[in-house]
Amino acid sequence: MMELPLSIPTLWAALGLGALYYLAYSLLTSTTPVPAELPWLGKPPGVRLFGDIRLRLDGFRNARAYLADGYANYHQKGRSYVYRTLFGTPEIVVPRAQLKWLLDFPDDVASVSEAHRQSLNADYTFPNPILIKECFHEHVIHKNLARKLPALLPATWDETRQAFDDTWGRDTTAWKEICVYENALDVIARLSNRVFLGLPLCREKPLLDAMCAFANAVFRSTMLMNLCPGVLRPLLGPLVCLPNYIHYRKTTKWTIPFIKRRLATLASSDHPDAEKPNDFVQWYIDTARAEHRTKELDPRLLAQYLTPLNFAAIHTTTFTITNLLFDILAPSPTCPADDTLATITDEITHVYRTDCPDGIWTKQSLNRLVRTDSAIRESMRIRNFLTTGVVRKILAPLGVRNEVEGWTAPQGAFVAVDVNSVHHDPGVYARPDVFDAFRFSRVREGAGGLGGEDGGGGGGGGGGDRERGRADVLAGKNLSMVSTSDVFLPFGHGRHACPGRFFVTHELKMYIAYVVMNYEIERLPERPANTWIGPTVLPPMKATIRVRRRA
């Protein structure tokens, strides 16, 4: 056997030192695509050895303080600035007043999909580079979800009941300790895949575990890839992202045979449209056929598209419901006499008894849960997961000009808004750091007894009263959970706002409804704290609650 010139440990050490050297060299010599005249949060990158690395580390360790400083010293004065953290490219953070300027650019000038593709290193972290580049799954959701939503609700409610009966149990005597985050991850994975795949695959735990493991692997590999110099990513990407592909391959044990069976069934001449399942796989196939996109009908590609779909749907919704449960179970500082959980329970119980005679929630009945909707929206406002958002990557070869401030964002620059600081701005929200569950419902209920995001109520009287009534109705509609604005940005804003938010709002309401109607939950003396990891804010992931089935 031929002997290697170096032992294996020595070889790995040499490669590691070489990679570290190249990383330092790349960071120190690379140009940053941001306007030179904009201020940087923290110390600007200088010529000192490892100056940019120090800036990244400081921006990661002190993200909360950095962003608060940027908001106070620049945003409030109508000025943009640059924020950099350990992972990813620097971001030009523009004031809220310039959000419309950013959103009005066409996609070939300022792209959200290219921003996601680069920040996630999607060419490596997902099983196929075209998934985030072409985003056919998002096109399918945009085209189908809203109009088919009412028909999805009975199945979603059925899965909600079954998921909680399986995990929280039916024991009416003993209290059970539940890890909120881990349980929510299991339940949301089931509910989401009831819509994506239907029965029985949505209850196939090894499949769901593989989907969740894939999403976790994407998070980890994205951070590692963002630390790699660009020219080394083609070499290191397959190695760093190997766990992603292993988890994806596990999912194909179920998904590809399922898709092949569906395509074969649809090819049968005796299969009428009325018998088609109402799930994402069916929407995808129908859309691809209608648009003559034969490439998308490859079962392997459809199976691959299920990975970004699950990545987007499961974890963000799990973070939201985890935050919400801890928010409504802890004492409310807005009104000591007010029991948030009791108020939500009363509303849900009343609407369910009066509007759901067959025991199944409908779109109309869920829209009547105005206070529940308000609590979810308020939790999303105060506990947002990503501190910056509405991110766009500039694609225009000559960049885009900001006439207000007189600078140009060059091609390749990332432009964003500081969502966290907007949500915590006392000039926008009274007592912004306080969870006020009914902050939005008080306005909506005052606007003529509104019944949900579809409006209703309000008005009456003569011409002036009617105009005021219409204005009140509009104000109430704009405060529902699905409504985005320049001061409420968890779903983004504008034409690229999250298309799945209309389903998510009903999913979360049914989740809470089943919990409060069927389980006693011990109140918490105080809310467990969220954790800042760089510019990301995670909910309490190990905290538990005690529950017992109602007799």
Mean local confidence (pLDDT), 494-511:
94
Which amino acid type is present at position 413? A
Q: What is the pLDDT of residue 4?
A: 42
Annotated ligand binding at 498? The verdict is: yes
pLDDT higher than 90, residue 327: yes
Count of beta carbons in the 10 Å neighbourhood of residue 504: 22
Mean local confidence (pLDDT), 176-196:
97
Q: What is the pLDDT of residue 461?
A: 37
The correct CATH number of 130-385+490-549 out of 3.20.20.70, 3.40.50.2020, 1.10.10.1400, 1.10.630.10 is: 1.10.630.10
Q: What is the pLDDT of residue 3?
A: 41
pLDDT (tens digit per residue) in 239-266: 999 999 999 999 999 999 999 999 999 9
Q: What is the pLDDT of residue 20?
A: 60
How distant, in Å, are the alpha carbons of 48, 90, 549 from that of 60? 19, 12, 43
The answer to which of 30-34, 454-458, 514-518 has the lowest mean pLDDT is: 454-458
Q: What is the pLDDT of residue 458?
A: 32
pLDDT higher than 70, residue 452: no
Q: What is the pLDDT of residue 268?
A: 80
When comparing pLDDT for 47 and 326, which is higher? Answer: 326
Cα–Cα distance between 101 and 111 in angstroms, integer?
13
pLDDT higher than 70, residue 223: yes
Q: What are the start and end residues of each CATH 1.10.630.10 domain in the chain?
A: 130-385+490-549
Mean local confidence (pLDDT), 224-233:
83
Q: What is the pLDDT of residue 2?
A: 40
Q: What is the pLDDT of residue 316?
A: 93
| DSSP annotation string for 385-400 | SBSEEEEEEE--TT-E
Q: What is the pLDDT of residue 231?
A: 81
Asked whether 125 and 241 are in contact (CB, 8 A), the reply is yes
When comparing pLDDT for 499 and 465, which is higher? Answer: 499
pLDDT higher than 50, residue 29: no
| DSSP annotation string for 318-330 | HHHHHHHHHHHHS
Q: What is the pLDDT of residue 336?
A: 58
Q: What is the pLDDT of residue 446?
A: 81
Mean local confidence (pLDDT), 152-181:
97
Where residue 321 falls among pLDDT bands split at 50, 70, 90?
very high
Q: What is the pLDDT of residue 9?
A: 59
Mean local confidence (pLDDT), 7-12:
56
Q: What is the pLDDT of residue 89?
A: 84
Pairing of strands 388-394, 414-418: antiparallel
Mean local confidence (pLDDT), 201-208:
97
Q: What is the pLDDT of residue 440?
A: 95
- What is the percent of the chain where pLDDT is above 90? 73
Q: What is the pLDDT of residue 534?
A: 87
**Phi, psi values for residue 174, rounded to 5°:** -100, 145
Q: What is the pLDDT of residue 6?
A: 45
Mean local confidence (pLDDT), 379-384:
95
pLDDT higher than 60, residue 46: no
Q: What is the pLDDT of residue 447?
A: 63
Could you tell me the pTM of the whole model? 0.88
* Contacts for 227 with CB less than 8 Å, ≥ 6 apart: 23, 86, 87
pLDDT (tens digit per residue) in 387-399: 999 999 999 999 9
* Contacts for 273 with CB less than 8 Å, ≥ 6 apart: none
The answer to which of 13-27, 48-62, 281-295, 359-373 has the lowest mean pLDDT is: 13-27
Chain mean pLDDT for the chain: 87
> Hey, is 408 helix, strand or coil?
strand
Q: What is the pLDDT of residue 459?
A: 33
**Phi, psi values for residue 179, rounded to 5°:** -80, 110
Where residue 26 falls among pLDDT bands split at 50, 70, 90?
low
